[in-house]
Amino acid sequence: MPGFIPDILTTIAMIGCAYTVTGAVLAGRWRAPPPPRRDARAWPSITMLKPLYGPEPDLAAKLNGFLDQDYPGAIAMLCGVADPADPALASVPARAVRMVSAARHGSNAKVSNLVNMSGAADGDILILSDSDMIVPRDYASRVVAALEAPGVGAVTLPYAGLGETGGWSRMAAAGISWGFLPGVMVGLATGMAKPCMGSTIALRRETLDAIGGFARFGDLLADDHAIGAAVREQGLSVAVPPLIVTHGCTETGLRALVAHELRWNATVRMLDPAGYAGSLVTHPLAWALIAWIAGAGGWVLAAAIACRLILAARIDYVVGRRTAPLWWLPARDLLSFGIAVAAFFTRRVDWRGARLHMADDGRMTAETETH
């Protein structure tokens, strides 16, 4: 093997280490200040939109968490399903409104659900979020305060992972907390990321109307990203306040974990092919291992492992819990790298019972309809 190849691989690994250390430093910024206090009459009303599908662990507790808020204004919740026999309905709080409608508005079942719910949402502010999210009691206050800043059209939030169903779910959570979350932090700090995530999208009713309503996004797989882009087209920003919420991971096996993460990676690759290719450098442990196999010194591998362990420990400290055993990190990192590479060759993904074909323009077609 030519002698320059180990040097190139070592350089890539060191760039990844620098990225990792930057993420560890930036993590300290995500300490939320106390939420502002105002007169109760000044707080706008909120409608929480919750598209549901199928059973989930602790779903009732998660939904109640969005209602049990230290928020002076009125909060309502709409929970929508497409099937009246959907088991998720059993977990809907009594205080929430159940909406059942099978009307389809494109290939994206979640967006169809949102379209069906949005007509009944009468809050000043709409907050949509995935059903697997867990939020603190000051969530609503912080989101509304961020939305009311000048020039802000929407608010979104980064999230950490929490394993809820055993070892594989903790491995999935580690991928979020130790991989995805630092990437968001670095991307925001450098201005390279313009996120809008399904963890939270808060916007005013007039903003939603101005961007064409939810129906505009009915055939898009990355609907959350597209909503953010549409808000920015109006000359408004998408704010990301210093609050990290939690994604409950429920994977029970390797196959489910890979299918979920492959869909996510393929979506990111579809949205930004060049940026996604560049993001491969953010996997220093994998590059260091390849460099070591190619003949580089063992110090490269040791440095990459040390940097990644520091970042994982730092993230766990910031979110206030151990995501997974730190000794899992090498296996988790190599799995993440493998999935990242596989996403370059993925054109079909599984999503909630449907097999979807992904087009280069971000649109999707369902090969098997969800029942």
* Residue-wise pLDDT tens digits, 147-163: 999 999 999 999 999 99
Nearest to 337 by CA among 285, 291, 273, 298: 285
Fill in the amino acid letter for 341. V
To the question of domain 33-255 being in CATH 3.30.420.40, the answer is: no
151 phi/psi in degrees, rounded to 5: 80, 0
pLDDT tens digit sequence for 244-281: 999 999 999 999 899 889 988 888 888 788 888 999 99
List Cα–Cα distances, 134 to 63, 122, 131, 157, in angstroms: 8, 24, 9, 12
pLDDT tens digit sequence for 201-251: 999 999 999 999 999 998 887 899 999 999 999 999 999 999 999 999 999
Q: Average pLDDT for residues 294-315, to the nearest whole number? A: 95
Task: Provide CB contacts within 8 A for 227, sequence distance 6+.
Answer: 154, 196, 201, 203, 211, 217
Chain centroid to CA 278: how far? 20
Judged against a pLDDT cut of 70, whether residue 40 lies above it is answered with no
Query: Could you count the other beta carbons within 10 Å of the beta carbon of residue 252?
Result: 13
Task: Check residue 369 and give its pLDDT.
Answer: 43
The Cα 301–Cα 293 span in angstroms is: 10
pLDDT tens digit sequence for 57-81: 999 999 999 999 999 899 999 999 9
Q: Give the chain's length.
A: 371
The Cα 84–Cα 99 span in angstroms is: 9
357 compared with 142, residue with greater pLDDT: 142
Task: Provide CB contacts within 8 A for 242, sequence distance 6+.
Answer: 29, 30, 31, 32, 33
Exposed e or buried b per residue across 185-207, where buried means at least 16 C-beta atoms within 10 angstroms of its C-beta: bbbbeeeebebbbbbbbbbbeeb
Sheet bearing 354-358, strands edge to edge: 348-351, 354-358, 364-366
pLDDT tens digit sequence for 76-130: 999 999 899 999 999 999 999 998 888 888 778 889 899 999 888 988 999 999 9
- What tokens were used for 246? 């939690």
If you write DSSP's letter for every residue of 293-306 in order, what string do you get?
HHT--HHHHHHHHH
% of the chain at pLDDT higher than 90: 69
Give Rg (Cα) of the chain. 21
Going from N- to C-terminal start, the domains of the chain cover: 4-28+280-360, 33-255
Banded model confidence at residue 371, pLDDT cuts 50, 70, 90: very low
